Chain A
Amino acid sequence: MSSTAPHALSDVTASDGTLRRFLHGLPGVDAVGLEARAASLGTRSIKTTAKAYAIDLAISMVDLTTLEGADTPGKVRALGAKAVRPDPTDRTAPATAAVCVYPDMVATAKEAVAGSTVKVASVATAFPAGRAPLSVKLADVREAVAAGADEIDMVIDRGAFLAGNYLKVHDEITAVKEACGTSARLKVIFETGELSTYDNIRRASWLGMLAGADFIKTSTGKVAVNATPANTLLMLEAVRDFRAQTGVRIGVKPAGGIRTSKDAIKFLVLVNETAGEDWLDNHWFRFGASSLLNDLLMQRQKLATGRYSGPDYVTVD
């Protein structure tokens, strides 16, 4: 298979051996130091105008998500309407970045957001476990793309990664990227909670970027530990370094467990002070979340009116 890695790193993916040596040659991660840095950035005090800016920015970065077995077309349509117009009482609230649904709901979602800037993302590749033959995963992706998905969120084969079969994971990502064609951007989900160590998360990040990911994403939201400030900081360092080395820019998407405006703003501070301010745009940074949006909207209303309204003043979905 031909390598999609940027020219500067093209020989890295020549064989399992070169890929392993490259990934294991990346600088290590000191867990204590990483977490301390993430915590220290979390103490930035974001008030008044900066807070208003951050809240609107965060809303515009939300991938409004429903990934339940019980999803119905009605639920997806409601979600789409909310993504397009998050706050019916205040039309100045920005639209979210995307709605994220299972592949069978892509067509419905596409219809629901038609005419807006909202994209449709779909979790293909046998989400969330990823335990299916490659042919099935690719079919999953092709169906979603054919139904109009603008973005594909794929899960990597964590088993292969943990077994050290890096080239297998690489080739799978490359194949999925190819199946996305030119119309869909690819987000690669590592399920960081299952990768267990920060060193693994850094290696996975580079592996994903080498294989042609447009976005690297922390998690599915379906395991105990999802996005954390520390693992997101680590991935931001990875995209920053990848750009410095190759000139190629990759997006980052923390997903799962980000529920409050306060948390979301902390992530934006991480982006601002790690990858840099030009990542502060929904083309390069996303939040995978469902309940976050309502908290952002309530905080937004509070800033606008000076009063805290409560959950009955935002829509349930």
Chain B
Amino acid sequence: MTNSPVHRRTVLGGAAAVAAGWALAGCGDSGDGDGDAPRERAKGQRIQLTFWSWVPGIDKPVDLWNRRHPEVQVKVEKVSAVNGAQYAKMHAAVKAGNPPDLGQIEFPVLPGFLLDDGLLDLAPLGVARHKDKFTGWQWQQAVFGRGVYAVPQASGPMGLFVRQDLFDAWEVATPRTWDEYEDAAKAVRRKGAWIETFAPTNGNRLAGLAWQAGARWYATHGDTWIVHIDDEPTRKVADYWESLVRRKLVKTIPDRQNAWYKDVQTGAIPAWLGASWGDALLAGNAPGTKGKWRAAPLPQWKAGAQDFANWGGSTTAVFAKARYPRDALDFAVWLNTAPESIALLIDGGYGFPSAKKGWDTTDLDVDKDFFGGQAYSRVFADAGAHVDTSWRWGPGVDTLYQRLGDAFTDALADGSSFRSVLATVQRQTLDDLRGKGLKAESGG
């Protein structure tokens, strides 16, 4: 161990580790042996499926399944969700030929796994008969061509969380439009606080806000991907935030990090444009502010409009190499539709159920006390019902977020415009897709 810092750092060093990992992985990748071929479970045969997930409290519904299905035991392996580590691990496992049977995969990331041939098309297994159990637009997010590649689990309709006590004390009304939001930002700033942060590296939220404004970043035409990040709606969103940033009406620190949590705890940041799953996040990280928060609908571009957006949400996908695909699918459907499973998932704080029934059979107001008794989930249920359904994700969304983050950071530092960020990222995304051997064109 005292031998050298070189060695230890080599192990930590990404590139070297990457090379080594794949080299070893190469050994296991020698052809599709019989061991990997999908099998039908014989009657009475006991099998075990592995499931990689990071959702808090996922073990509880899985335990319930295991008690009820002694023949199909599911083993949860928790994976880290920090900085997309879970997907790095899954991609590497797919490449190495030893992925788990099931995995927790967010909607935006699904296309990336399709490029790897990583996911099993569930359509031949008859997944279509479950279609009506799920919210339409979420089901659609897992449909590519004729295939269905995942079972939807949860979504994240967006809304605005505010510290009602502070807003009341400062006589700031909860903003209903983006114009009002700007006024609120000014009013809050006069009180010495900052209404929010524009986190330059949070591509997820920006996508949600662009989605609300009417942007459609990805589309397909024949076998070509159409990329349209630098479009009018997204420019409108970019201009809006640039103006807030340049006038110093919002902070630019990263969100959901220590400094941000601290600001949220102390009231230095009294609002958050978040998503439905943000209830657990706020309640867990700012317990001292219990009872003082309220949820409100996302501000609108036009007063009285009903345009909403989504941030997050994930699926239970079956990997292409799953040995017992039928059982894996049965489990995935049960996990996300059985009322008792949904109840346990909601307790764990996993988001907003994709199953239609989940919205009324279960009490979604888990952290009611934190929101002063408000039936806050109705705000999100309403938003979820109005999310524009034509939004599609394309391959390489993680890279897109990273590129947006890098370019916004550059823009904040050197003062170039947010519009130029969009133009840059549009160009880079086309290059990225073409670099992956795909056909891609700019939207007109």
Decide whether A and B assemble into one complex. Answer: no
